[in-house]
Amino acid sequence: MSKMNKLFFVDCSKAAECCNKAQYKEANPLEKFKLKFHLLFCSTCRKLASTNTRLTETLKKSKIEPCPEAQKKKWKDSIKKEYAEDNA
């Protein structure tokens, strides 16, 4: 039973980790199972998990477009250069 306990019962912080991994589709089947099992009897995590899932949907809906890293670097360099000149 204690082995079973270890396998299936996880604490809230481990459940949160599984839940976050699941938001990025990085939870393995065992982690998914542990999370589902934990949610059966933990209402706090159930609430957290539903907020988390809603957040994932919201993020998807928002369609934020990543700004290309190369462009960021260009801006950084030009600001650095200009700023250094101003303060020279």
Partner 1 sequence: MPSKKLNPNKWVDRYSDYLYNYTIVRVNDREVANDLISETFLAALKSAKYFKGEATERTWLISILKRKIIDYYRKINSRKGKAEVKIDYSDDENNGEWLEEQVPDQFDRTAEDEMENHELGLAILECLDSINEKHAAIFKRKTIDGADTEAICNEFNITPSNLWVIIHRARTALAACLEKNWF
**Residue ranges in contact with partner 1 by CB under 8 A:** 16-17, 20-21, 23-24, 26, 48, 51-52, 54-55, 58-59, 61-67, 69, 71-72, 74-76, 78-80, 82-83, 86-87
Chain positions 32 to 51 lying near Zn ion, rule: CB under 5 A, are 42, 45
CA pair distance 80, 55, nearest whole angstrom = 36
Q: What's the min distance (Å) between Cβ of 35 and partner 1?
A: 13
Residue pair 52/20 in contact (Cβ under 8 Å)? The answer is: yes
Query: How large is the angle between the packed helices 29-41 and 43-62, nearest 10 degrees?
Result: 130
Interaction site with Zn ion (CB under 5 A) = 12, 15, 42, 45
